[in-house]
A = this chain, B = another copy of it.
Amino acid sequence: MTYPITAQRIVLAARPDGEPTAQDFRQESLALQAPQAGQMLLKTLYLSLDPYMRGRMNDSKSYSPPVQLGETMVGEVVAQVVDSKVEGFNAGDIVLAHSGWTSHGLSNGEGVRKIDPATAPIETRLGVLGMPGFTAYAGLREIGKPRAGETVVVAAASGPVGSLVGQLAQRAGARAVGIAGGVEKCAFVKDVLGFDVVIDHRAEDFVDQLATACPDGIDVYFENVGGPIWQAVFPLLNQFARVPVCGLIADYNGTSTTDAGLSVAGLMRGILTRSITLRGFINYDLNHCFPDFIREIAPAIKNGEIKHLEDVVDGLENSPQTFIGMLKGRNFGKVLIKVADAFR
């Protein structure tokens, strides 16, 4: 290895007002020196793009601090150790790290976790076997608690969280009703993932279709979108319904028309009279479930019982446009940026 090496990274150039645009991001080169004692150099192989990143672009209090202007956009990556002066990590190791939108990163090993490429394809560690999959698993197990014969509804059903929610609901004996946008995604949810029913939220009679698809009401709604879909779901929630709240992608750009029908008073009244539980969570609130998640899900991925789909885009430079499109529902499957090939 000859140092310095030139890393590419993408920084937050401006705080978006509503939907982000290309001008809110900037690509920069950065010279990286050789790792010092206690450091290692990581080469990014895959970068995960996830809806939560939109929240980090705002200068407002959330569960995590915002990205500062001029700072590298945050994100989880699968990386390979290039050069290590950190005990326990060797050149060639495949790891999960929070390097962000960058081709290379220096790390002291904190929060970096080695993964075994033999368990499952490495890119699944950012999707069905990673944070999104774990979010589905833990939210259902700890909050949704689907039982045999119940009806579980999830939106963004072709996405990395929704696709697992439906499959896990069915493994618990419940009916899985998926909501997705467009013919192609709906066909995938029904035919490949095997949900019991799928509904296109773009259909004009979406609200009626949802009611028809849930003749016995809804027992679990796994909330990852918010907005008009939440408005349509709420009246159908049964007595004792459980709503894990893990995301609100429709609201992230602050452009949603959520309050069209439902009011706060109406929501509270429904929660009261139907003994409904709403519980917000972030996957790491439920980290105690992680070992069970890997133990149960990894084999089911390997033997094909659990289906998953990745939407892989080549090149770090394409991250901003891909991210912007993802917030509009243009992706199909778990969105990953392939930054580089692994070396042997």
Contacts and interface: CB of A to CB of B under 8 A. Distances in A.
Q: How large is the interface on A (under 10, 10 to 19, 20 to 34, 35 or more residues)?
A: 35 or more
Interface string A268-301: 1111111111111110010000000000000000
A264 to B, nearest CB: 5
A251 interface: yes
Contact of A280 (B256, B258, B274): B274
Contact of A275 (B248, B256, B275, B280): B280
27 contacts: A55-B273, A62-B273, A63-B239, A63-B273, A63-B274, A63-B275, A226-B265, A226-B268, A230-B264, A230-B268, A240-B285, A245-B268, A245-B271, A245-B272, A248-B268, A248-B269, A251-B265, A256-B265, A258-B264, A259-B264, A259-B265, A262-B264, A264-B267, A271-B280, A275-B280, A275-B285, A277-B279
A321 interface: no
A23 interface: no
A239 B280 CA distance: 10
A152 B51 CA distance: 34
A276 B280 contact: yes
Contacts of A240: 285
A246 B272 CA distance: 6
A263 B259 contact: yes
Contacts of A267: 264, 267
A159 interface: no
A217 interface: no
Given A227-B265, A231-B264, 20 more contacts: A62-B273, A63-B274, A63-B275, A226-B265, A226-B268, A230-B264, A230-B268, A245-B272, A251-B265, A256-B265, A259-B259, A263-B264, A267-B267, A273-B280, A275-B280, A275-B282, A276-B278, A277-B278, A277-B279, A278-B279
Contacts of A223: 268
A144 interface: no
A274 B64 CA distance: 10
A153 to B, nearest CB: 16
A267 B264 CA distance: 8
A105 interface: no
A61 B285 CA distance: 36
A47 to B, nearest CB: 24
A247 interface: yes
